[in-house]
Amino acid sequence: MRRYRRFISLLAALIFVIAGFLWAREQYVVPIIMYHRIDEDAGVSRISVSPESFKRQMYFLKGHNYNVVRLEDLPELLSSGKIPRRTIAITFDDGYENNYTDAYPVLKELGLPATIFISPALIGTEGYLRWDQVIEMSESGVISIGSHAMTHAYLPALPEQRLDIEISDSKRAIEGHIRKEVPSFSYPVGAFNDYVRGKVRAAGYKIAVATNPGKHYPKHDLFAMKRLRISMTSDSLLVFWIETSGFYTWIKEHRDED
């Protein structure tokens, strides 16, 4: 009788472990981390990360054998259903010049690919990248260039003709400078609707990223991929590890209100 009870207890524990594993696998979202500015304003700006913190985070990914992939490679990985452990993609929004001066050297040194989303109308203005910097990074083999719309406009509020300029014309403008396909798009301020999403898909992009559309939205919609904003709270590598685990999106969506 005792042996029977022991067997039942072990079986129940095994079922519990398997059920937990299957549940966790369903909650997993490939982490796409999002940076903006790499500068010393982290104490006053939610979109800034200090150069020192950024460097530590990149060395953490490298040292812990993360599978850092190009954003445009995710569609194939997701369709295969075979995503290597610790897969992650690195992105930057807005195209600030400090992406070139403070982030790019670290990424190049470590051989970590990343995508920088730019708005062509802002290139060359104060604080933003210049075209020669964009081209240099694109030709390095480390940095992919994506579109962040032509003028960084709020897309859901725009009429169709203006949307075409923001979405399609920005793609052609960037491609005309870097002489490469631009496969990825980032919705300014993460804002989109079904119509905007359809326009992005029709324009020929392979993947588009938002921020966090919410827990009721598909976790791996190729034209509204969820991302995690990295800020001063990620100065702690423990926090950064949690955020890059693949399960933080689930935590955040159930912690925050829709």
Segments forming the whole domain that contains residue 12: 1-29
Residue 237 in this model has a pLDDT that exceeds 50: yes
CATH number at residue 114: 3.20.20.370
What's the chain's average pLDDT?
88
* 3-class DSSP string for the chain: CHHHHHHHHHHHHHHHHHHHHHHHHHHCCCCEEEECEECCCCCCCCCEECHHHHHHHHHHHHHCCCEECCHHHHHHHHHHCCCCCCEEEEEECCCECHHHHHHHHHHHHHCCCEEEEECHHHCCCCCECCHHHHHHHHHCCCEEEEECCCCCCCHHHCCHHHHHHHHHHHHHHHHHHHCCCCCEEECHHHCCCHHHHHHHHHCCCCEEECCCCCCCCCCCCCCCECCEECCHHHHCHHHHHHHCCCCHHHHHHHHCCC
Is residue 141 domain-shared with residue 227, that is, in the same domain? yes
Question: What average pLDDT does the segment 115-121 reach?
Answer: 98
Is residue 125 domain-shared with residue 231, that is, in the same domain? yes
Is residue 21 domain-shared with residue 80, that is, in the same domain? no
Supply angle C-alpha 99, 96, 232, rounded to 5. Answer: 70
Is residue 228 domain-shared with residue 157, that is, in the same domain? yes
State pLDDT tens for residues 84-98. Answer: 889 999 999 999 999
Is residue 6 domain-shared with residue 80, that is, in the same domain? no
- Report yes or no on whether pTM surpasses 0.85: yes
* Reported confidence tier of residue 4, pLDDT bands at 50, 70, 90: low
Is residue 7 domain-shared with residue 63, that is, in the same domain? no
Is residue 41 domain-shared with residue 1, that is, in the same domain? no
Residue entry with tokens 């800034």: 48
Torsion (CA) 30, 36, 148, 181 in degrees, nearest 10: -70
Q: How many domains does the chain have?
A: 2
Is residue 25 domain-shared with residue 43, that is, in the same domain? no
Is residue 60 domain-shared with residue 138, that is, in the same domain? yes
Is residue 152 domain-shared with residue 183, that is, in the same domain? yes
Is residue 187 domain-shared with residue 62, that is, in the same domain? yes
Is residue 44 domain-shared with residue 169, that is, in the same domain? yes
State pLDDT tens for residues 159-170. Answer: 999 999 999 999
